[in-house]
Amino acid sequence: MRPPGRYAVVAALAVGLASGLLTACSGGDKAAAKAELPPAQRLAAARAALEKSPAVSFTLTSEGLPGKAVGVSAAQGTGLFRPPSFKGTLNATIRGVTGTVEVVAVEQDVYLKFFTPGFNKIDPRTYGAPNPAQLFNTQTGVTSLVSRTTGLAAGPRTRDGATIVDTYTGKVPGSAVADLFVIGDRSGTFDVTYGVAEDGDELRSVVLRGPFYAGSTSTYTARLTKLPQAVAIPRP
């Protein structure tokens, strides 16, 4: 059998290159089409995709808190949407003492380990802190802010590490923020920026800026990343 001629080889390479370019363009077209969806539609889909996750890694950071702020300034751990649960650590000021505490929260039950050998069941509101499990309540938690947001507008496309993120901005009523975080001016308005990961189309971040504490403007940033498998979070 004769080997393929030079022109046949060139033609095959050209077909392969064209196929690759078409595939790349197709992926780019899909990404562009997603980004051009109405913000409310894109965010609703991103919220639904995240809420289907078997578990999520979760971090909460803050900026601009007043020096004597009481409550949670940061958090890190694992969350579940079904049932609403959280296991991890909180950076908090409790009864005048600032430190990192371990916490397990399942639905309405919150257990804290703070200068004690074991976990103790507590009412987080007495410490000016939210129930971290309720951050993952699909009806009233972080993701529910999407449906409470007004004035949605598409923002710039950015990178979050290796992930391409489309951003959306809007306004959230203070009542929604105060109900969720236990702090914040109920009569005020908060700026919100959502990040939607292009890969997976999932809600990746929620950034809230506004009057969390009287006389100051502060920012809380929640980051959520889908985990591949469910994680057990039992009550202690």
Q: How confident is the model at residue 16 (pLDDT cuts 50, 70, 90)?
A: very low
What value does the mean pLDDT take over residues 212-233? 95
Instruction: State the Cα–Cα distance between residues 65 and 198, nearest whole angstrom.
Output: 31
Please say if the pLDDT value at position 213 is more than 60.
Answer: yes
Q: What is the mean pLDDT of the chain?
A: 86
Give the Cα separation of 163 and 202 in Å (integer): 11
Whether the predicted pLDDT of 11 surpasses 50? no
Q: Assign 17 a pLDDT band (cuts: 50, 70, 90).
A: very low
Structural domain spans, the chain: 1-36, 38-227
Range name among 1-10, 64-73, 163-172, 209-218 with the lowest pLDDT average: 1-10
Fold assignment, 38-227: outer membrane lipoprotein receptor (LolB), chain A (2.50.20)
% of the chain residues with pLDDT over 90: 67
Per-residue model confidence (pLDDT) at position 183 = 92
Radius of gyration of the chain (CA): 23
Average pLDDT over every residue of 163-170? 95
Cα separation values, 39 from 34, 100, 180, 192, 193, Å: 10, 37, 23, 13, 12
Mean pLDDT of 32-44: 81
- Name the pLDDT band for 5 (thresholds 50, 70, 90): low
Q: Which range among 113-117, 120-124, 125-129 has the greatest average pLDDT?
A: 120-124
Q: How far apart are CA 196 and CA 214, in angstroms?
A: 31
Length of the chain, in residues: 236
Q: How many CB atoms lie within 10 A of CB 9?
A: 11
Give the mean model confidence (pLDDT) for residues 148-163.
Answer: 93
| pLDDT category of residue 229 using cuts at 50, 70 and 90 | very high
